[in-house]
Chain A
Amino acid sequence: SQTIHQWPATLVQPVGSPLSLECTVEGTSNPNLYWYRQAAGRGLQLLFYSVGIGQISSEVPQNLSASRPQDRQFILSSKKLLLSDSGFYLCAWNTGTGLYEQYFGPGTRLTVT
């Protein structure tokens, strides 16, 4: 069966510091991968998605970037965090064919101070 991992679970970082959040998926090959942010405890905003290694699409221009160095690894980064980057970051996956629903990881709660 497939499993998706995210780490760290929680993170407190000062403004201006770098960020690296990691997401890995087990039990599947060539998944589509997604990064979402949930601010203010409610709506989900799609930040980035990837349909293959090295292929990154951005939904919203911002202070963040994403990379996919391996088939089942998706990384969210920032060189300098802003207060507005605080939120709950969720990684998700689905298959390129067949399954249409996305499956989500446990999330990372980021607080920028």
Chain B
Amino acid sequence: AQKVTQAQTEISVVEKEDVTLDCVYETRDTTYYLFWYKQPPSGELVFLIRRNSFDEQNEISGRYSWNFQKSTSSFNFTITASQVVDSAVYFCALRRSGSARQLTFGSGTQLTVLP
């Protein structure tokens, strides 16, 4: 069975602080895909990044960076110099094997960035 754990239910930071959102996953697949989504107050989920299990390079996109470590089954997300607009619920997800490509989501982390 596959599982995604986001142990941090809520995080609150002050603007311009760096913040890391943790994601730990479990899977028996040798090839798998991990994702991060952002859900702002409007509700729509916004895709942020996909990571393949065979590519362990960390990725940076502006103020966002992702640290993928197979040894610890973790795929953590860091926001540098956080801004109020970063306030949202962030979900980590794992794609199941099979052609239907369902995603297993973590329970999400509510990030609040205070001005």
Contact = CB atoms under 8 A, between A and B. Distances in A.
**Interface size band for B:** 20 to 34
B81 to A, nearest CB: 26
B19 interface: no
Interface of A is mostly: strand
B103 interface: yes
B71 to A, nearest CB: 23
Contacts of A41: 89
A7 interface: no
Interface string A88-107: 10101010100011111111
A106 B50 contact: no
Interface of A: 32, 34, 41-44, 46, 49, 51, 57, 59, 88, 90, 92, 94, 96, 100-107, 109
A51 B99 contact: yes
Contacts of B37: 104
A34 B35 CA distance: 16
B9 to A, nearest CB: 8
28 contacts: A32-B100, A32-B101, A42-B107, A42-B108, A43-B105, A43-B107, A43-B108, A44-B45, A44-B91, A44-B105, A44-B108, A46-B102, A46-B103, A49-B100, A49-B102, A51-B99, A51-B100, A90-B45, A92-B45, A100-B33, A100-B101, A102-B47, A104-B37, A104-B46, A104-B47, A105-B44, A106-B42, A107-B43
A97 to B, nearest CB: 9
